[in-house]
Each structure stands twice: as C-alpha cells, then as structure tokens.
Amino acid sequence: MLKTLKPFLILFMSAGFFWSCEDDLDLQPEDNRLTAETTFEDPESYKQFLAKLYAGLAISGQEGPAGDPDLEGLDEGFSQYLRLYWSMQELTTDEAVIGWNDGTIQDLHAQNWTAGNEFIRTMYSRIMYQVALTNEFIRQSTPELLESRGLASEERENVARYRAEARFLRALHYYHALDLFGNVPFVTEEDAIGASLPQQIQRPELYDFVESELLAIENDIVAANSNEYGRADQAAVWMLLSKLYLNAEVYTGEAHYTEALDYSERVINANYSLADDYQKLFLADNDSNGAQSEVIFPITFDGQQTQSYGGMAFIIHAAVGGDMDPADFGVSSGWAGLRTTAALVDKFPNGAESQDERALFFTEGQTKEIDEISSFNDGFAITKFKNVTVDGEWGSDDTGEFPDTDFPLFRLADAYLMYAEAHLRGGGGSESAALGYINELRERVDADQIGGSDLNLDFILDERARELYWEAHRRTDLIRFNQFTENGIWPWKGDVPQGATTQSYRDLMPIPASDLGVNTNLEQNPGY
C-alpha cells in the first residue's frame, strides 16, 4: 500500500492526540471541528488517511527523512516507530549491541535504564501517537457518519473494511504498549477529544481489550492472503491473536496455550507458504521475489516514497562497518554501530562456520568477543538484511541512502514455531505436527533434522533465536521463558563484560517520568 500511495497530510491528524504527553515533546492537540467534514468530502480521503496509519510504522513525519516530524524532542531518525521498537526488542537482549553513545542508548543493553530514558519515552509517545490517529479514523468512519456524508453503498463497504484495518492497527499498537509498558493511559474513539486526562488501564484489562478488538474484526477484515500487499488481512489478525495468547500468562497470569495453538494453526492453513530461500526474506525485492508468500504482515519501505533514517535504513546502514563493503549491502555508507554478541553466535553449531544458512555473520576483521562496545570491530557483524535484489541490484534509491527492503513483522515461520511452543506448553496439537514444522524450517537452511527427544522448550527458545534474530521478537521471547532479567546472562548485560543478572521489575519498561508529571491519573510501574 505504501509503495503506491504517498503519505497523506491529515489536517486534523493531531486532534486525537490528547494523551498525557510530555511537555518536552511539544505535542499539542488541535481542534478538528472545522476540518473533518471538509477533509472527507472526497471518499478517497479515507484510503489516504488509512495510508497514513500504515505509514506511521515506516516514516517519522511529513517531509520524507527529516524536516517536519510527527514528534519533537528526539532526532527524527531515532524517533521512527520501527527503529524504536526494534531497539526495545533487540538492544536489550543477547542479539544486538550498538557502539554509539547517543544519549542513554547504552542503557538499553546494560539494562540500567531509568524512567528518564529518552528512547523509552519516545517509544511510548510514538505508540500513543499512532493510537490517537487510529482512534480518529475509527471516530470518523462510523456507519452513521458515512451515510450522512453521502457515500454510496460500495464506498461505505470499502470504508468499513478500512475501519477493520484501522482497528487491527490500533490493537497492534496497544499490544506493543501491553508488552512493553503494561499499564498505560487508555483512550478509544468513545472518549471526547481533550475532555480530560486519560485514565490508566491495568495490564490484564488492556489484554482483554486487545483480544476483544481482534475477535470483533476477525470476520470483518479482508480474508486471509487476499488483501493488497502491505495491508492487514485475516491472517494478520490470527497471527496477533496467537502472539497475544502465547504471552497471556506473562500479561495476565492465566495461560491460553490452547488458543495460541489454534490461531497459529489457522495461520499455517491460510495458504501462505515458506520462501524457498531464507535470504530472500530480507532483500530489497522481498515484496516480489517469492518471499511475499511467507510474509503475513510487513512494514513496507520504498527508497523513493518512504524515506526515513529510521526503520530499514537504520537496520541496514548501522550494521555495516569495519572491513564490510557498503556496496555489498546496497547502501552508500556504513554507520558502524550494530553487531551481535557471542551468545547468538554460539546458538549455531560451529558458530559462524555453521552449515545452517541462517548463520549470517561477517567475521573478517571482527572479534567474536566484545571488549569494547564502542568499537565496531568487537563482536561479529550481521549480514541478514540487505538493500539488494536477488539479482544483486541496488534498491530504487540511486543514492544508496534509503532501502526498498520491507521488514517482516509477521511471517509464517514464526507461526510454525509458535505452534510447536504452544504444543510443548500443553496447548494440544501433536508432536508429529510440531516436529514437521520445525524440520521444514531447518531443511530450508540445511540444518540437521531433529527428533522427538530434541524437541523441548529450551530448544524452541534457541531455535526462535536462530530463525528470527533481529526481527524484533527477542525481548518478548526471553521474558516468556523467564530469561530476560533474573536468569539470563550474556555479554555486557548489567554493564559488565561477562554479563550479569538484573532485577525482574525490568521485564516492564517504566512509564516516562515526564508523563507522570503531566497526568496525575498515572502510577509508575513497580521498581522504578
């Protein structure tokens, strides 16, 4: 969708953004009472607004890479949604370190962040901003409003489907809030804009809301594998439900592994298929090279239309440095920041020399162990994501600044792994099916097949790392396996070279201190 539609400037898009937002971000609500009717005189405006909702995952403002940001208070590249979310999910774990010293970025891997961390604060604000936009779309697309605005029957049906997609996106953003922060300010389309400071919802209640929204739209959204590429369909809903249920015990204290298995199985049976080559999933033409058969919900990027210094520009550029040739990765320069730890390398038999084709490490001039995080040459580099096609051609941006590579937020391989894990946790299904799914993934990458005696939860956690590293799953996985804080150790966790355990309260991020100072309805998460 974003590859065919330019980002749309919604005149009133900040109208729904009356949260308890930080003063230092200068985020102010605007009154939409005089603009909404004018904006929606053209029925096409609804699709353009929907494009803005999707674009919020990929771009950071209204003028391409920089110049008119959605949020102020942090560099626009740093404040992009995927870059922030990826950092929360990867830099806090054994899968990634970054050599830079921008602000408090090093506190993420060290796990010594505070409620004043600007990256955590901006992730929180980015989520809330996106929720506000989705609320406004839902508010402006009721059947009553559509009829009063004179939309024809076919147009109303189209907008009804768009509305289901907007509800999916809101559920996705609230899921990220649920996972990262737990107890957050809560606003829906039912709340009057600017009428009062939002109330804080507790984690179990937010879980219930996300579940209810996804179940409500399950049969209203476009059927699985039949929507325009880059847009959510029924399989995306099922995938998010499966993730929600798989982590339910963390979020609510109650297990829902049967439901997790059921919905992962629905995804598996939804006519998606594994790409024939693992590497194709992470190339500039992964929307057309066959990988699209596996990708259930991508965050789409285009070197011409979705230019940002966050997202895939960050993931690809920042992973290139040292003796690596930027041209091999379809970019003009390396930013020499991101590497991995020995803990990930050691998950592969024979490490970087593994026959497993998922072991995509650059070792020339690099040391496996990290003596200094600030040195790019300390730690193996990752070569997983590239801005080149299967034919070796660069993406569409001739400057090599902005990639075409899409980010596979949800893909079929993850559903296979979730099925196996839910089975092992008592969710039903069969061992033979679970083994079959795991071995299908391993066959694709020339890894040894496993038998029933090998299939256990420890194996699943490691296999998820081997299959899904750098795809923004690791923090959530480690927490579900009780390995993120008190029990897990990896290099430089706890800010010591050998690694150390950290306090369990860090399984939740803090509510930003600046937001607590604005909204008296909020209470800080325990431990902060």
Residue-averaged pLDDT of the chain: 92
**What are the tens digits of pLDDT across the range 252-267?**
999 999 999 999 999 9
Superfamily name with CATH number, domain 309-386: SusD-like (1.10.3780.10)
85-122 pLDDT tens trace: 999 999 999 999 999 999 999 999 999 999 999 999 99
What percent of the chain is predicted at pLDDT more than 70? 93
Q: Residues 443-485: pLDDT tens digits? A: 999 999 999 999 999 999 999 999 999 999 999 999 999 999 9
Q: How many helices (H) and strands (E) does the chain have?
A: 18, 8
| pLDDT band (50, 70, 90) for residue 518 | very high
Mean pLDDT of 65-89: 87
pLDDT at 40: 85
The predicted-structure confidence for 14-35, as pLDDT tens digits, reads as follows 333 434 344 333 444 445 444 6
Work out the number of other CB atoms within 10 angstroms of the CB of residue 392.
10
Judged against a pLDDT cut of 70, whether residue 217 lies above it is answered with yes
Tokens representing 242?
Answer: 């499966």
Domain ranges of the chain: 309-386
Angle between helices 118-139 and 44-55 (to 10 degrees): 160
Buried b (16+ CB within 10 A) or exposed e, 145-159: ebeebebeeeeeebb
**Burial of 380 from C-beta contacts in 10 A (0-12 / 13-18 / 19+):** buried
Buried b (16+ CB within 10 A) or exposed e, 306-338: bbbbbbbbbbbbbbbbbebebeebbbbebbbbb
Residue 70: predicted pLDDT: 84
Contact (Cβ atoms closer than 8 angstroms) between residue 244 and residue 210: yes
Residue-level pLDDT at 77 = 74
Question: What does pTM read for this prediction?
Answer: 0.94
User: Among the residues of 426-507, which ranges form H helices?
Assistant: 431-444, 457-468, 474-480
**What is the biggest distance separating any 2 CA atoms in the chain, rounded to whole angstroms?**
66
How confident is the model over 232-238, as a mean pLDDT?
98
First to last CA, the chain: 41
